[in-house]
Chains A and B, each alone.
Chain A
Amino acid sequence: MRQPDYRTPHIGIDSVEHQSRLLELWEGEGGLKGFLGTVDHKKIGIRYIVTALILLVFGGLEALIMRLQLAGPNGTLLNPEQYDQLFSTHGMTMIFLYALPILSGFSNYLWPLVLGGRDMAFPRLNAFSYWIYLFSAIFLYVGFLTGNGPNDGWFNYVPYASRDYNPGLNEDFYSLGMIFLGISVTAGAANFIVTAFRTRAPGMSLNRLPMIIWGTLTANAANLVVIPAVSLAFFLLWMDRQYGTHFFDTSGNGQPLLWQHLFWIFGHPWVYAIVLPAMSFVSDGLPVFCRRPLVGYPYVALSTVATMILGFGVWVHHMFATGLPGLGMSFFSAASFVIVLPSAVAVFAWLATIWLGRPVITTAFLYFSSMILMFVIGGVSGFMTAAVPTDWQLTDTYFVVAHIHYVLIGINVFPVLGAVYYWFPKMSGKLMDERLGRWNFWITFIGFNLAFLPMHLTGLFGMPRRVYTYADGMGWDTLNLITTIGSFVLAVGVLLFVINVLKSLKSGAPAGPNPWDAPGLEWSTPSPPPPYNFAVIPTVASRTPLWENRLGESGVVSSVDRGMLLSQGKESIGSSAVDAEPDMILHMPEDSVAPFLLAIGATVLFVGMLLKVWFVIGIGVVLIALGTLLWLWPRRDLREREPVHG
């Protein structure tokens, strides 16, 4: 058991000697050991972001190949098996391996910085969830690259996923890979929740949380609840496939619909989990470029939470055609309508922020503000699918494909690209090129809308989803050609983004600590921040600590250069959940290879399960045991052994 540390911390002023002492305490090792063992949330955050962006490019290339196949009727570029694996892998990549991890990356990097802390609550768990994410992504892609990619869509309905209809390893890779990935998400979610409630700078009470905390916290609270449903579903499927259980098999009184319930009770909250943090990027970033605080902060924060709670009650709208009773469907239909309202709160808060502020057009502003319109387009098409009888026509046509892409590109990718333009200077110390940024934005924007706006019509004209080819004379030829052209324009936009990042990394203008004159705590540290983030723990007196003197709020003074020094070890501050009153000193762990070792052990275990080789499973278990032992070995600097004095 760790002994809590209730000493009263020394209060002092930032100084050069203090900083060098902190650097000595916090700077990690170099070399391979440092690379594998780092627990610095900033390094882990950037790893998440880079990995997720690479996977975004993979998913994009898969989409381009499919768009070539669909550019005209009777395409012959791909055979059905190739097409099925491509669209399934595309969905898996974008929804699971890109959309959440990219947001977790930003949150990982930014949370301690916006909260005024020195790291996440559980730094080693943080490293662990990254390694698991990386290895599960590799696991899933090994399947794809050996011709064993998922082939039943990301939703993976049974019985097509069962062994009778799908005898290859495809679905075993996917089932096990998804359970594997779920470990990462669950560990990350727990870490975010504790970090949000227990590691905030003094004074950062709940009503002063930056929106990125609300968005990510809400999303991860949901993840913690729903990941078990999907992990269970995939586990049952794997048991059905490999050990002859009958959870989904009608010949043993199993229920195919059970899969759909388990999947969508996870799947719909997940959709909110991959947009709410991105929406919070807009809520934090847009006001900076409107030169005023966000309009209606408490309403936007509450609407975030409300969306998530309602989001638990709408999963059946994915199943309106499955023959469920009308009364049941009417409940889920109504919930799906009501969930529009909290979204309207956010949209009008953003619009009001633009109208009541003094907007400055930058690339980040363009991404954030254009997102509002795409959010609305993706929102109204979702509203249409809430009308059950109309959904009987819309569902499983390209209308829903258009909808999901407005949601996932409009509400996830656009805010993410905006967030890169906004926070890149903090992460790298360099500004991104605004001229190239404008090209990047407009080409991405035009390409995206050219590809996906006409797709609504393709859907209304009846084109079914997930077909590897289509006949001519159905009225879809021209629309599909436009979508293919648009998707390549979009790809050029993304390419320009990558070029801009690389160019700016190499030769961007120095950013300084606060290039945008933004109000959040993260802008009070140097760019890039030192390993310890803050030399002294800031004290927060308002929602916009760096803007206080200009907003004319009398008597409100946050402090960023005088505060708790916490330099007697690797220390940070623990605070109370609601009011963020400091209540203990946290002792943060040193770098450790235990998370890496544990993740390697888990990988070996999953490979063993895939191959059903007990020997390999045994090695995995041993490695996991060793990693756990190393991790949990009581350490004096963490006050896990005999009490220390001073």
Chain B
Amino acid sequence: MTPLGYLDAAGQRAHIILPLTWLTIAISLLVCVVIAVLLWLGVRRARSSGGAAETRATAVTGGRSGVRWIGMGIAISGVPLLIALVWTMVALAEASGPPADPGLTLDITAHQWWWEVHYDAAQPDQTFTTANEIHIPVGQRVLVRLHGGDVIHSFWVPKLTGKTDTIPGQTNLSWMEADRPGRYRGQCTEYCGWQHAHMAFEVVAEPPAQFQRWRAQQLQPAPAPTTPEQTRGRSLVVYRCGACHRVGGTLAGALAGPDLTHVMSRSTIAAGTLPTGPGTLAEWIEAPQALKPGNLMPNQGLSAQQLTDALAYLETLK
């Protein structure tokens, strides 16, 4: 219904926040209702309606001082305020502080306008980099180290964790722990330029075994081409796309754009802009500036044959 809504939670950190959110919503609604009723009943006491003449015709009186109203107002406001304050401090203590012993550590770098996701590991050959789709094992605390690539962005997966900015020059920490499998949408929430609107990502929470299989797959280099089309396609991809992108196991090794080694395994392209598929991929390669104006990828202007070849190869990058 609402992929970015935060009135339901699917992860530990979001679960800590949610009751506080409901508490403050409840207090807020209650206060609004009480004041609205008081105001409505007060205004209804008016005997006269009109303009200047009616105002002048109503006599001025001193009346009671009414200071007790203010005392009562302070008392009534003070109690929920204090409850919310204490609850906030408790929730803040619980939710802040990165986990001491995370099951998984991610280094996420935000770029205009995509997410670079690096999986850390004790052994260097177990590390890898992907983009815009973050797989995590269910039930494990994941430490997220956030790096600023260019301008300030903000990392947010409402069902799992609140926002933490990615700021150049500093490393911010966040964490998340999914309590059930699912696909959870994330979004950049600090204004970062033209395509701030198209800077989404997905967190895919999977049972640990499935996550391990995914991880093993991500560690694989790209498969060798098996048809002439794919072979031509690979040359083209290395020559053209390789200026900015990396395809593991080929000469394409640039890091300016998302890693394409397993691009077809991800559910969207261009940071949540389009669903992945041969058709959308073709559209994207031909006219990225029409689909996501201002992004760093130029329109490619390939011939029909070149496009067919490139797609034939790219489709093998699963």
Contacts and interface: CB of A to CB of B under 8 A. Distances in A.
Contacts of A257: 167, 170
Interface in A224-268: 250, 254-257
B168 A250 contact: yes
A434 to B, nearest CB: 4
A357 B55 CA distance: 12
7 contacts: A165-B151, A256-B168, A295-B67, A341-B74, A359-B43, A393-B14, A464-B188
B39 interface: yes
Interface in B59-92: 59-67, 69-70, 72-74, 76-78, 81, 84-85, 87-89, 91-92
A430 B96 CA distance: 60
A250 B168 CA distance: 7
Given A80-B195, A376-B31, A384-B28, A356 B152 contact: no
A352 interface: yes
Contacts of B39: 351, 354, 369, 372-373
Contact of B197 (A341, A431, A468, A516): A468
A340 B77 contact: yes
B167 A358 contact: no
Interface in B134-155: 146, 148, 150-152, 154
A84 interface: yes
Given A345-B74, A397-B189, 16 more contacts: A80-B294, A159-B152, A337-B85, A372-B39, A373-B35, A383-B28, A384-B28, A388-B92, A393-B17, A393-B158, A434-B51, A462-B2, A462-B187, A516-B52, A519-B60, A551-B61
A357 B65 CA distance: 11
Contacts of A349: 66, 69-70
Contacts of A554: none
Contacts of B3: 462, 473-475
A296 B66 contact: yes
A460 interface: yes
A250 B60 contact: no
B27 interface: yes
Interface stretch (A176-184, A198-206, A285-293): A285-293
B17 to A, nearest CB: 4
Interface residues of A, number: 103
Contacts of A386: 84, 88
B48 A462 contact: no
B301 interface: no
B303 interface: no
Given A295-B65, A384-B24, A323 B164 contact: yes
A337 B81 contact: yes
B124 interface: no
Contacts of A395: 163, 189
A160 B54 contact: no
Contact of B58 (A291, A353, A475, A547): A291
Given A323-B164, A360-B48, A299 B17 contact: no
B155 to A, nearest CB: 9
B297 interface: no
Interface of A: 79-81, 84, 152-153, 157, 159-160, 165, 250, 254-257, 288-289, 291-293, 295-296, 299, 321-323, 326, 329-330, 333-334, 337-338, 340-341, 344-345, 347-349, 351-363, 369, 372-373, 376-377, 380-381, 383-384, 386-397, 425, 431, 434, 437, 460-470, 473-476, 511, 515-517, 519, 547, 550-553
Interface of B: 1-7, 14, 16-17, 20-21, 24-25, 27-28, 31-32, 35-36, 38-39, 42-43, 45-52, 54-56, 58-67, 69-70, 72-74, 76-78, 81, 84-85, 87-89, 91-93, 95-97, 112, 146, 148, 150-152, 154, 158, 161-165, 167-170, 172-173, 187-197, 293-294
A380 B91 contact: no
Given A84-B194, A376-B32, A434 B42 contact: no
Contacts of B87: 387
Contacts of B67: 295-296, 299
A351 B20 contact: no
Contacts of B162: 321, 389, 391-393
Contact of A353 (B66, B150, B173): B66
Contact of A344 (B77, B93, B163, B197): B77
A352 B151 CA distance: 50
